[in-house]
């Protein structure tokens, strides 16, 4: 059964991968606006230079030639040159931005589920109490808050009014550091607002899922039996947790796949120099090579994470070993 399951998932993965590659190629090219002419306008390039750029970027070649070049470059890791940051390579740009995204998303990938699951566990454990209702209702409200809006309001309060946190960027502009500790302090200082905002707005779904799964488990027969046997609360809690944390953990696995993609709006609001902001810039600028590379990367991470989540489910949850869903 497990083998069949893995096989079907692998086939699905390939299909998704194929779709991504095709979309990745077609979509950016179908966008309106010729990047060479955009460059020419932004920077007052002489027309001769524009012609050269067009031939350099193969914009004047037929589509199928562009496609061949695309596939080739995809697998040789040569993602070409950015239009906006020419003559820098896409690879260089992405690698320069990636650490910031990994940092921001890494931290929130811990704080968000930790906070969310804690709230959910407590609410589920005391199900039906006022505490449970309060947590649930506030999670529903928080779920509907646009986080860029909360980010803007936090920027206003903490950045403009109280002036205790920087409103954007990952480092103090132009700062030079005398030692590593100073550098770390500056990074953390700039990280505070984004992490706070993301945590305060994204925890809700974890809370709701954890709470519901807690409630489900606590009302299973075996829990009643355990309670009737007079097992101490602590042991009961342990049993419940072991089973109840599976759904939120799966959510976490899937979330890890969205590390880069989920960063677009956050990084844009905070001008955080990560890949998400790079994607935003390249959409605004029609920077095809960067878009191609970024979406390729995004898709790979998402696909792999989804597969990991499936595996996690298959390995940990005996009930799903494995009948097809539905």
Partner 1 sequence: MRSLKAGLILPALILLLLAFSVIYPAWGQQAKASSAITANTYDKYLKPCSCYGGTLKLAMPSAVTTLNWWVAGTDWDLIPLEMIYDRPLRIINGSPTWEVATSLEYSEDYKVLTMKIREGIKFHDGVELTAEDVAFTINVLANRSWPYYHGYFTSVDRAEAVDKYTVKIYFKNPDAGFILNALPVMNIMPKHIWEPLLQTYGDQLAKYSPKPEELVGSGPFKFVEHVSGQYVRFVANKDYWMGRPCIDELILVIITDANVAVLAIQNGEVDAFLWGVDPAVAKTLETYPNIKIHARLSESFRHWGLLTTVWPLNISKFRLALSYAVDREVLVNDVLLGYGMVGSPGVVGPFGYCAPWYNPNVEKLVYYDPKKAAQILDEIGFTDKNGDGWRDGPRGEPVVIEIYSPTPGYDPVRARVAELLKEFLANIPGGGIKAEVYYYEWATLWPMIREGKVMTWLLGSGWSADISWLYTRFHCPPGGSSNWAKYCNPEVDKMLEELRSSFNETRRKELAWKIQEILALEAPVVNLYYQAFPTPYRTDKFENWFITPSDTLSNRINMLRLSLKSSLCPTPITTPKPTPTTTPSPTTSAAPTTQPTTSPTPPPTPSSTPSPTPTTSVGGPDYTLAVVAAVLVVVVVAIVLLVLRRR
Partner 2 sequence: MVSILRDLRYILIENRMGLIGFAIIMFFTLIAIFADIIAPYNPYELVGPPYTPPNERFILGTNDIGQDIFSEFIYGSRISLYVGFTAPILSSIIGTILGIIAGYLGGYIDELVVGAVDVMLALPSLPLIIILAAYLGPSLNNIILVLAIFGWPGFARMVRSQVLSLRERAYVEAARATGAGSFRIMFRHILPHVVPLVIANIVLSATSAILTEAGLSFLGLGDPIAKSWGQILRRAQVGHALHQGLWLWVFTPGLAIALLGTGFTLLGVAIEEKVNPRLKHSRR
Residues that bind partner 2 (CB under 8 A): 12-13, 15-16, 19-20, 23, 27-28, 30-32, 127-128, 137, 140-141, 143-146, 148-150, 152-153, 155-156, 160, 212, 215-216, 219, 257-258, 260-262, 264-265, 268-269, 279-280, 283-284, 291, 294-295, 298-299, 302-303, 306, 325-326
With CB under 8 A, what is the number of residues at the site for partner 1?
A: 52
Q: How far apart are CA 286 and CA 264, in angstroms?
A: 16
Nearest to 194 by CA among 252, 152, 160: 152
Q: Which residues contact 219 (CB under 8 A, 6 or more apart)?
A: none
Q: Choose between 106 and 146: whose C-beta lies nearer to partner 2.
A: 146
In the complex, the smallest distance separating the C-beta of residue 152 from partner 1, rounded to whole angstroms, is 10
Cα Rg, the chain, nearest whole Å: 24
Q: Pick from 286, 288, 295, 309: which binds partner 1 (CB under 8 A)?
A: 286
Instruction: Check binding of 211 to partner 1 (CB under 8 A).
Output: no
Residue 74 near residue 18, CB atoms below 8 Å? no
Class of residue 258 by CB neighbours under 10 A (exposed 0-12, middle 13-18, buried 19+)? middle
**Binding partner at 320 among partner 1, partner 2, none, C-beta below 5 to 8 Å by kind:** none
Measured in residues, the chain has a length of 326
Instruction: Check binding of 194 to partner 1 (CB under 8 A).
Output: no
Instruction: Check binding of 180 to partner 1 (CB under 8 A).
Output: no
**Binding partner at 303 among partner 2, partner 1, none, C-beta below 5 to 8 Å by kind:** partner 2
| Helix 2-30 with 63-76: angle, nearest 10 deg | 130
In degrees and rounded to multiples of 5, residue 230 shows phi and psi of 85, 25
**Binding partner at 57 among partner 1, partner 2, none, C-beta below 5 to 8 Å by kind:** none
Instruction: Check binding of 30 to partner 1 (CB under 8 A).
Output: no
Q: Which stretch binds partner 1 (CB under 8 A): 8-16, 113-121, 166-174, 210-218?
A: 166-174
Q: How far apart are CA 231 and CA 221, in angstroms?
A: 14
Q: Choose between 3 and 130: whose C-beta lies nearer to partner 1.
A: 130
Nearest to 218 by CA among 233, 207, 205, 203: 233
Instruction: Check binding of 130 to partner 1 (CB under 8 A).
Output: yes
In the complex, the smallest distance separating the C-beta of residue 244 from partner 1, rounded to whole angstroms, is 23
Residue 49 near residue 86, CB atoms below 8 Å? no
Determine the longest span between alpha carbons in the chain, in angstroms. 86
């Amino acid at each position: 059964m497990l083998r069949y399951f893995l096989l079907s998932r692998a086939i699905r993965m390939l299909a998704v991968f194929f779709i991504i590659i095709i979309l990745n190629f077609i979509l950016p090219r179908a966008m309106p606006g010729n990047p060479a002419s955009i460059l020419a306008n932004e920077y007052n390039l002489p027309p001769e230079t524009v012609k050269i750029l067009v031939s350099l970027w193969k914009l004047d070649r037929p589509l199928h030639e562009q496609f061949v070049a695309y596939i080739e470059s995809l697998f040789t890791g040569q993602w070409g040159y950015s239009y906006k940051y020419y003559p820098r390579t896409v690879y260089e740009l992405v690698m320069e931005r990636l650490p910031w995204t990994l940092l921001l998303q890494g931290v929130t990938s811990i704080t968000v589920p930790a906070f969310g699951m804690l709230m959910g566990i407590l609410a589920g454990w005391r199900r039906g109490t006022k505490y449970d209702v309060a947590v649930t209702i506030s999670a529903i409200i928080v779920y509907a808050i646009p986080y860029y809006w909360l980010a803007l309001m936090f920027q206003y309060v903490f950045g403009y009014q109280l002036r205790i946190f920087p409103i954007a960027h990952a480092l103090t502009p132009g700062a030079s550091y005398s030692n590593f500790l100073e550098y770390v302090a500056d990074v953390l200082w700039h990280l505070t607002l984004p992490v706070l905002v993301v945590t305060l707005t994204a925890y809700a779904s974890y809370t709701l899922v954890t709470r519901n799964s807690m409630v489900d488990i606590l009302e299973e027969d075996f829990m009643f039996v355990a309670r009737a046997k007079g097992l101490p609360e602590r042991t009961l809690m342990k049993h419940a947790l072991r089973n109840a944390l599976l759904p939120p953990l799966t959510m976490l696995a899937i979330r890890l796949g969205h590390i880069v993609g989920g960063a677009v709006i956050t990084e844009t609001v905070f001008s955080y120099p990560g890949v998400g902001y790079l994607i935003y810039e390249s959409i605004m600028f029609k920077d095809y090579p960067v878009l191609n590379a970024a979406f390729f990367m995004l898709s790979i991470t998402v696909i792999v994470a989804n597969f990991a989540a499936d595996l996690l489910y298959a390995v940990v949850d005996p009930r799903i070993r494995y009948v097809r869903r539905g």
